[in-house]
Structure 1
Amino acid sequence: MQKYLILLAGCPCTGKTYLVKQLQQQFKDSFVLTPDEAKVLYAESIGFNSKAEKEALEHKVWQFYYGVLQLYMDAGKRIIISEYPFSDKQKKQLSEFADHYYYQVITIRLVADFDILWQRRYQRDRSPERHLSHIMQHYHYGDKLEDRNLADDLVTKEQFFQICQTRKYDQFALGQVIEVDVTQYAKVNYSGLLDKLKQIINQ
Protein backbone atom coordinates (compact mmCIF):
# COMPACT_ATOMS: atom_id res chain seq x y z
CA MET A 1 0.00 0.00 0.00
CA GLN A 2 1.42 3.36 -1.05
CA LYS A 3 1.41 6.01 1.66
CA TYR A 4 1.20 9.76 1.05
CA LEU A 5 2.32 12.91 2.81
CA ILE A 6 0.40 15.87 1.33
CA LEU A 7 2.01 19.23 2.12
CA LEU A 8 0.05 22.43 1.54
CA ALA A 9 2.71 25.09 1.11
CA GLY A 10 2.82 28.76 0.18
CA CYS A 11 2.86 32.18 1.78
CA PRO A 12 0.45 32.98 4.62
CA CYS A 13 -3.09 33.79 3.49
CA THR A 14 -3.15 31.57 0.43
CA GLY A 15 -6.08 29.54 1.74
CA LYS A 16 -4.25 26.48 3.03
CA THR A 17 -6.65 25.92 5.93
CA TYR A 18 -9.65 25.99 3.59
CA LEU A 19 -8.00 23.46 1.29
CA VAL A 20 -7.20 21.17 4.22
CA LYS A 21 -10.92 20.93 4.97
CA GLN A 22 -11.63 20.09 1.34
CA LEU A 23 -9.00 17.36 1.41
CA GLN A 24 -10.41 15.92 4.64
CA GLN A 25 -13.81 15.58 2.99
CA GLN A 26 -12.27 13.94 -0.06
CA PHE A 27 -10.01 11.56 1.86
CA LYS A 28 -11.94 10.35 4.89
CA ASP A 29 -9.05 8.21 6.15
CA SER A 30 -6.59 11.12 6.22
CA PHE A 31 -4.86 12.50 9.31
CA VAL A 32 -4.18 16.24 9.61
CA LEU A 33 -1.27 17.77 11.49
CA THR A 34 -0.36 21.47 11.45
CA PRO A 35 2.28 23.44 13.38
CA ASP A 36 -0.14 26.32 13.99
CA GLU A 37 -2.45 24.05 15.98
CA ALA A 38 0.51 23.12 18.14
CA LYS A 39 1.41 26.81 18.55
CA VAL A 40 -2.05 27.55 19.92
CA LEU A 41 -1.91 24.48 22.16
CA TYR A 42 1.37 25.60 23.74
CA ALA A 43 0.27 29.21 23.99
CA GLU A 44 -2.88 28.14 25.84
CA SER A 45 -1.15 25.70 28.16
CA ILE A 46 2.16 27.48 28.84
CA GLY A 47 2.00 31.02 27.48
CA PHE A 48 4.83 33.49 27.04
CA ASN A 49 5.86 36.88 28.45
CA SER A 50 8.17 38.20 25.74
CA LYS A 51 9.21 37.83 22.13
CA ALA A 52 12.15 35.71 23.24
CA GLU A 53 9.89 33.35 25.21
CA LYS A 54 7.54 33.13 22.24
CA GLU A 55 10.42 32.09 19.98
CA ALA A 56 11.63 29.56 22.56
CA LEU A 57 8.12 28.09 22.72
CA GLU A 58 8.13 27.72 18.95
CA HIS A 59 11.12 25.40 19.29
CA LYS A 60 8.96 23.15 21.48
CA VAL A 61 6.19 23.38 18.90
CA TRP A 62 8.41 21.91 16.19
CA GLN A 63 9.61 19.14 18.48
CA PHE A 64 5.97 18.28 19.14
CA TYR A 65 5.05 18.50 15.44
CA TYR A 66 7.87 16.26 14.25
CA GLY A 67 7.21 13.84 17.10
CA VAL A 68 3.55 13.41 16.17
CA LEU A 69 4.37 13.23 12.46
CA GLN A 70 6.84 10.45 13.14
CA LEU A 71 4.26 8.58 15.22
CA TYR A 72 1.72 8.81 12.39
CA MET A 73 4.27 7.57 9.87
CA ASP A 74 5.50 4.79 12.11
CA ALA A 75 1.87 3.67 12.53
CA GLY A 76 1.57 3.57 8.74
CA LYS A 77 -1.24 6.10 8.32
CA ARG A 78 -2.09 6.03 4.61
CA ILE A 79 -2.62 9.75 4.06
CA ILE A 80 -1.14 12.50 6.22
CA ILE A 81 -1.97 16.12 5.43
CA SER A 82 -0.03 19.08 6.76
CA GLU A 83 -0.25 22.79 5.99
CA TYR A 84 2.21 25.57 6.77
CA PRO A 85 4.30 28.20 4.98
CA PHE A 86 7.00 25.55 4.61
CA SER A 87 10.56 26.62 3.78
CA ASP A 88 13.97 25.00 3.52
CA LYS A 89 14.07 24.99 7.34
CA GLN A 90 11.63 22.06 7.36
CA LYS A 91 12.57 20.43 4.07
CA LYS A 92 15.42 18.22 5.30
CA GLN A 93 13.50 16.70 8.22
CA LEU A 94 10.34 16.13 6.19
CA SER A 95 12.35 14.50 3.42
CA GLU A 96 14.18 12.23 5.85
CA PHE A 97 10.93 11.09 7.46
CA ALA A 98 9.31 10.44 4.09
CA ASP A 99 12.28 8.38 2.91
CA HIS A 100 12.56 6.43 6.14
CA TYR A 101 8.87 5.52 6.34
CA TYR A 102 8.33 5.14 2.57
CA TYR A 103 5.92 8.00 2.02
CA GLN A 104 5.35 9.61 -1.35
CA VAL A 105 5.28 13.38 -0.91
CA ILE A 106 2.90 15.63 -2.81
CA THR A 107 3.39 19.38 -2.40
CA ILE A 108 0.44 21.59 -3.27
CA ARG A 109 2.08 24.99 -3.58
CA LEU A 110 -0.37 27.88 -3.40
CA VAL A 111 0.77 31.16 -4.96
CA ALA A 112 -0.83 34.58 -5.33
CA ASP A 113 -0.15 38.22 -6.09
CA PHE A 114 1.66 39.78 -3.12
CA ASP A 115 -0.60 42.82 -2.77
CA ILE A 116 -3.62 40.51 -2.51
CA LEU A 117 -1.83 38.41 0.10
CA TRP A 118 -1.03 41.50 2.12
CA GLN A 119 -4.66 42.62 2.09
CA ARG A 120 -5.69 39.20 3.36
CA ARG A 121 -2.93 39.16 5.99
CA TYR A 122 -3.86 42.64 7.25
CA GLN A 123 -7.51 41.66 7.65
CA ARG A 124 -6.79 38.24 9.12
CA ASP A 125 -4.49 39.56 11.85
CA ARG A 126 -7.17 42.01 12.95
CA SER A 127 -10.01 39.52 12.86
CA PRO A 128 -11.42 38.43 16.27
CA GLU A 129 -11.23 34.86 14.93
CA ARG A 130 -7.43 35.04 14.76
CA HIS A 131 -5.93 33.53 17.91
CA LEU A 132 -4.47 36.37 19.94
CA SER A 133 -1.19 34.56 20.60
CA HIS A 134 -0.24 34.91 16.92
CA ILE A 135 -0.16 38.71 17.09
CA MET A 136 1.16 39.36 20.61
CA GLN A 137 4.61 39.28 22.19
CA HIS A 138 3.04 38.20 25.48
CA TYR A 139 0.11 35.84 25.93
CA HIS A 140 -1.52 33.66 28.55
CA TYR A 141 -4.77 31.72 28.50
CA GLY A 142 -7.77 34.01 28.78
CA ASP A 143 -6.05 37.17 27.53
CA LYS A 144 -8.25 39.43 25.43
CA LEU A 145 -7.71 42.46 23.22
CA GLU A 146 -10.75 44.25 21.84
CA ASP A 147 -8.85 46.47 19.41
CA ARG A 148 -6.57 44.17 17.43
CA ASN A 149 -4.77 47.20 15.98
CA LEU A 150 -3.12 47.55 19.40
CA ALA A 151 -1.46 44.11 19.20
CA ASP A 152 2.30 44.39 19.65
CA ASP A 153 3.42 41.66 17.24
CA LEU A 154 1.68 42.71 14.04
CA VAL A 155 3.80 42.74 10.89
CA THR A 156 4.06 45.63 8.46
CA LYS A 157 3.69 45.22 4.71
CA GLU A 158 7.45 45.63 4.31
CA GLN A 159 8.18 43.00 6.96
CA PHE A 160 5.69 40.60 5.40
CA PHE A 161 7.28 41.05 1.97
CA GLN A 162 10.77 40.48 3.39
CA ILE A 163 9.69 37.33 5.23
CA CYS A 164 8.04 35.82 2.16
CA GLN A 165 11.01 36.65 -0.06
CA THR A 166 13.73 35.54 2.35
CA ARG A 167 12.09 32.24 3.26
CA LYS A 168 10.98 31.59 -0.34
CA TYR A 169 7.60 30.24 0.68
CA ASP A 170 6.37 30.36 -2.91
CA GLN A 171 9.26 28.17 -4.07
CA PHE A 172 8.98 25.29 -1.60
CA ALA A 173 9.06 21.94 -3.36
CA LEU A 174 9.24 18.39 -2.06
CA GLY A 175 8.16 15.35 -4.03
CA GLN A 176 5.55 15.88 -6.73
CA VAL A 177 4.57 19.55 -6.97
CA ILE A 178 1.16 20.89 -7.97
CA GLU A 179 1.08 24.69 -8.14
CA VAL A 180 -2.21 26.55 -7.83
CA ASP A 181 -2.74 30.29 -8.30
CA VAL A 182 -5.11 31.49 -5.58
CA THR A 183 -5.00 35.21 -6.33
CA GLN A 184 -8.76 35.02 -6.93
CA TYR A 185 -10.37 32.30 -4.84
CA ALA A 186 -13.51 32.31 -6.99
CA LYS A 187 -11.51 31.26 -10.02
CA VAL A 188 -9.67 28.36 -8.35
CA ASN A 189 -10.72 24.96 -9.69
CA TYR A 190 -10.74 23.15 -6.36
CA SER A 191 -12.83 20.25 -7.64
CA GLY A 192 -10.34 19.72 -10.48
CA LEU A 193 -7.48 19.74 -7.99
CA LEU A 194 -9.21 17.21 -5.77
CA ASP A 195 -9.92 14.99 -8.76
CA LYS A 196 -6.27 15.13 -9.77
CA LEU A 197 -5.16 14.14 -6.27
CA LYS A 198 -7.70 11.33 -6.19
CA GLN A 199 -6.29 9.97 -9.44
CA ILE A 200 -2.72 10.10 -8.08
CA ILE A 201 -3.58 8.46 -4.77
CA ASN A 202 -5.98 5.83 -6.07
CA GLN A 203 -4.00 4.80 -9.14
Structure 2
Amino acid sequence: MKAINKGFVKLPRTLLEWQWYDDINTCKLMLHLLLKANFKRKQWRGQDILPNQLITSFEKLSIETGLSVSKVRTALKKLIDTKDVITTPHNKFTKIQITAPFFLDIQNDKQLSNTQQANNNQTATTNNDEELKRSIEEFKEEVFLHSNYSTKILNDFYNYWTEKNKVTGKFRFQNESFWETDKRLAKWARNEKSQTKKSMLDIKR
Protein backbone atom coordinates (compact mmCIF):
# COMPACT_ATOMS: atom_id res chain seq x y z
CA MET A 1 0.00 0.00 0.00
CA LYS A 2 1.35 3.41 -0.99
CA ALA A 3 1.95 5.73 1.98
CA ILE A 4 -0.14 8.94 2.07
CA ASN A 5 1.85 12.16 2.31
CA LYS A 6 0.60 14.09 5.36
CA GLY A 7 2.98 17.04 5.12
CA PHE A 8 6.44 17.71 6.48
CA VAL A 9 8.24 19.02 9.56
CA LYS A 10 11.55 20.83 8.98
CA LEU A 11 14.49 20.10 11.26
CA PRO A 12 17.62 22.30 11.22
CA ARG A 13 21.11 20.81 11.59
CA THR A 14 21.49 22.90 14.75
CA LEU A 15 19.23 20.30 16.37
CA LEU A 16 22.42 18.26 16.75
CA GLU A 17 23.63 20.91 19.22
CA TRP A 18 20.39 20.91 21.23
CA GLN A 19 20.98 20.08 24.90
CA TRP A 20 18.58 17.10 24.91
CA TYR A 21 19.68 15.60 21.59
CA ASP A 22 21.68 12.79 23.25
CA ASP A 23 18.90 12.07 25.76
CA ILE A 24 17.06 9.35 23.82
CA ASN A 25 13.70 9.56 25.61
CA THR A 26 13.53 13.35 25.75
CA CYS A 27 14.65 13.77 22.14
CA LYS A 28 12.17 11.15 20.96
CA LEU A 29 9.32 12.83 22.83
CA MET A 30 10.22 16.25 21.44
CA LEU A 31 10.33 14.97 17.87
CA HIS A 32 6.95 13.33 18.42
CA LEU A 33 5.50 16.61 19.72
CA LEU A 34 6.88 18.43 16.66
CA LEU A 35 5.08 15.98 14.37
CA LYS A 36 1.81 16.15 16.31
CA ALA A 37 1.65 19.94 16.83
CA ASN A 38 -0.98 21.95 14.97
CA PHE A 39 0.13 23.92 11.95
CA LYS A 40 -2.93 26.19 11.98
CA ARG A 41 -5.49 27.48 14.49
CA LYS A 42 -8.52 25.30 15.24
CA GLN A 43 -11.20 24.50 17.83
CA TRP A 44 -11.53 21.24 19.76
CA ARG A 45 -14.38 20.77 22.26
CA GLY A 46 -14.42 24.44 23.17
CA GLN A 47 -10.64 24.68 23.32
CA ASP A 48 -8.81 27.17 21.08
CA ILE A 49 -5.72 25.35 19.79
CA LEU A 50 -3.10 27.56 18.16
CA PRO A 51 -0.24 26.65 15.80
CA ASN A 52 2.60 24.88 17.67
CA GLN A 53 0.10 23.50 20.23
CA LEU A 54 -1.53 20.09 20.71
CA ILE A 55 -4.01 18.38 23.02
CA THR A 56 -2.86 15.08 24.51
CA SER A 57 -2.30 13.14 27.75
CA PHE A 58 0.51 11.17 29.40
CA GLU A 59 -1.24 7.91 28.59
CA LYS A 60 -1.72 8.84 24.94
CA LEU A 61 1.89 9.96 24.56
CA SER A 62 3.00 6.70 26.15
CA ILE A 63 1.05 4.65 23.60
CA GLU A 64 2.19 6.77 20.64
CA THR A 65 5.90 6.84 21.54
CA GLY A 66 6.30 3.42 23.13
CA LEU A 67 7.72 5.04 26.26
CA SER A 68 6.27 4.23 29.67
CA VAL A 69 4.06 6.84 31.33
CA SER A 70 6.83 7.39 33.89
CA LYS A 71 9.41 8.05 31.16
CA VAL A 72 7.02 10.40 29.37
CA ARG A 73 6.52 12.39 32.59
CA THR A 74 10.28 12.60 33.17
CA ALA A 75 11.06 13.65 29.59
CA LEU A 76 8.27 16.22 29.55
CA LYS A 77 9.46 17.71 32.84
CA LYS A 78 12.93 18.22 31.32
CA LEU A 79 11.39 20.03 28.34
CA ILE A 80 9.32 22.20 30.67
CA ASP A 81 12.32 23.05 32.88
CA THR A 82 14.36 24.19 29.86
CA LYS A 83 11.36 26.10 28.46
CA ASP A 84 11.21 24.05 25.28
CA VAL A 85 7.50 23.49 25.96
CA ILE A 86 4.76 24.96 28.13
CA THR A 87 1.98 22.74 29.47
CA THR A 88 -1.53 23.65 30.58
CA PRO A 89 -3.19 20.79 32.52
CA HIS A 90 -6.96 20.27 32.22
CA ASN A 91 -9.30 17.75 33.80
CA LYS A 92 -8.99 15.01 31.15
CA PHE A 93 -6.15 16.23 28.95
CA THR A 94 -3.07 18.44 28.76
CA LYS A 95 -2.44 21.23 26.28
CA ILE A 96 1.21 21.46 25.21
CA GLN A 97 2.73 24.47 23.48
CA ILE A 98 6.09 24.12 21.79
CA THR A 99 8.34 27.12 22.43
CA ALA A 100 11.75 25.74 21.37
CA PRO A 101 13.31 28.35 19.03
CA PHE A 102 14.76 25.76 16.65
CA PHE A 103 11.20 24.61 15.93
CA LEU A 104 9.42 27.96 15.74
CA ASP A 105 12.01 29.73 13.58
CA ILE A 106 12.08 26.98 10.97
CA GLN A 107 8.40 26.00 10.89
CA ASN A 108 7.20 29.59 10.53
CA ASP A 109 9.29 30.25 7.44
CA LYS A 110 6.92 31.79 4.86
CA GLN A 111 9.18 31.33 1.82
CA LEU A 112 6.94 28.80 0.05
CA SER A 113 6.59 28.32 -3.69
CA ASN A 114 3.16 28.25 -5.36
CA THR A 115 3.48 24.48 -5.71
CA GLN A 116 4.24 24.08 -2.02
CA GLN A 117 1.26 26.25 -1.09
CA ALA A 118 -1.05 24.14 -3.24
CA ASN A 119 0.27 20.97 -1.61
CA ASN A 120 -0.18 22.48 1.85
CA ASN A 121 -3.79 23.41 1.09
CA GLN A 122 -4.50 19.84 0.01
CA THR A 123 -2.77 18.50 3.12
CA ALA A 124 -4.75 20.89 5.33
CA THR A 125 -8.03 19.60 3.88
CA THR A 126 -6.97 15.99 4.43
CA ASN A 127 -5.84 16.74 7.98
CA ASN A 128 -9.12 18.49 8.74
CA ASP A 129 -11.13 15.47 7.56
CA GLU A 130 -8.95 13.19 9.66
CA GLU A 131 -9.35 15.46 12.70
CA LEU A 132 -13.16 15.38 12.33
CA LYS A 133 -13.13 11.59 12.02
CA ARG A 134 -10.86 11.23 15.05
CA SER A 135 -12.96 13.70 17.02
CA ILE A 136 -16.24 11.85 16.46
CA GLU A 137 -14.59 8.51 17.26
CA GLU A 138 -13.26 9.90 20.55
CA PHE A 139 -16.68 11.39 21.32
CA LYS A 140 -18.44 8.06 20.66
CA GLU A 141 -15.97 6.21 22.87
CA GLU A 142 -16.45 8.76 25.66
CA VAL A 143 -20.26 8.57 25.47
CA PHE A 144 -20.53 4.77 25.46
CA LEU A 145 -18.17 4.43 28.42
CA HIS A 146 -21.18 5.50 30.53
CA SER A 147 -22.65 1.99 30.70
CA ASN A 148 -24.81 2.99 33.67
CA TYR A 149 -27.28 4.43 31.14
CA SER A 150 -29.43 2.36 28.79
CA THR A 151 -28.28 1.72 25.24
CA LYS A 152 -31.27 3.70 23.96
CA ILE A 153 -30.30 6.79 25.96
CA LEU A 154 -26.68 6.58 24.80
CA ASN A 155 -27.68 6.10 21.15
CA ASP A 156 -30.20 8.96 21.23
CA PHE A 157 -27.68 11.23 22.94
CA TYR A 158 -24.89 10.34 20.50
CA ASN A 159 -27.08 10.69 17.40
CA TYR A 160 -28.37 14.10 18.48
CA TRP A 161 -24.99 15.62 19.33
CA THR A 162 -23.22 14.29 16.22
CA GLU A 163 -25.56 15.99 13.76
CA LYS A 164 -23.30 17.82 11.29
CA ASN A 165 -23.56 21.52 10.47
CA LYS A 166 -23.68 21.80 6.66
CA VAL A 167 -22.11 25.27 6.72
CA THR A 168 -19.20 24.83 9.15
CA GLY A 169 -18.75 21.06 8.76
CA LYS A 170 -18.62 20.71 12.56
CA PHE A 171 -20.69 18.36 14.69
CA ARG A 172 -23.28 19.78 17.07
CA PHE A 173 -21.21 19.05 20.21
CA GLN A 174 -18.23 20.93 18.74
CA ASN A 175 -20.24 24.16 18.57
CA GLU A 176 -20.81 24.21 22.32
CA SER A 177 -18.72 26.73 24.30
CA PHE A 178 -18.92 24.57 27.44
CA TRP A 179 -19.01 20.79 27.44
CA GLU A 180 -18.91 18.04 30.08
CA THR A 181 -20.25 14.72 28.79
CA ASP A 182 -21.10 13.44 32.29
CA LYS A 183 -23.35 16.40 33.08
CA ARG A 184 -24.92 16.51 29.63
CA LEU A 185 -25.79 12.80 29.79
CA ALA A 186 -27.26 13.11 33.28
CA LYS A 187 -29.49 15.98 32.15
CA TRP A 188 -30.48 14.06 29.00
CA ALA A 189 -31.45 11.00 31.08
CA ARG A 190 -33.52 13.14 33.49
CA ASN A 191 -35.38 14.78 30.62
CA GLU A 192 -36.12 11.44 28.98
CA LYS A 193 -37.36 9.98 32.27
CA SER A 194 -39.61 13.00 32.79
CA GLN A 195 -41.06 12.69 29.29
CA THR A 196 -41.71 8.96 29.82
CA LYS A 197 -43.61 9.64 33.07
CA LYS A 198 -45.70 12.34 31.35
CA SER A 199 -46.57 9.95 28.52
CA MET A 200 -47.65 7.26 31.01
CA LEU A 201 -49.89 9.75 32.84
CA ASP A 202 -51.51 10.80 29.58
CA ILE A 203 -52.23 7.13 28.76
CA LYS A 204 -53.82 6.50 32.19
CA ARG A 205 -56.12 9.47 31.70
Greater share of strand residues, 1 or 2? 1
- Structure of higher RCO (CA pairs closer than 8 Å, 6+ residues apart): 1
TM-score by length of 2: 0.25
TM-score by length of 1: 0.25
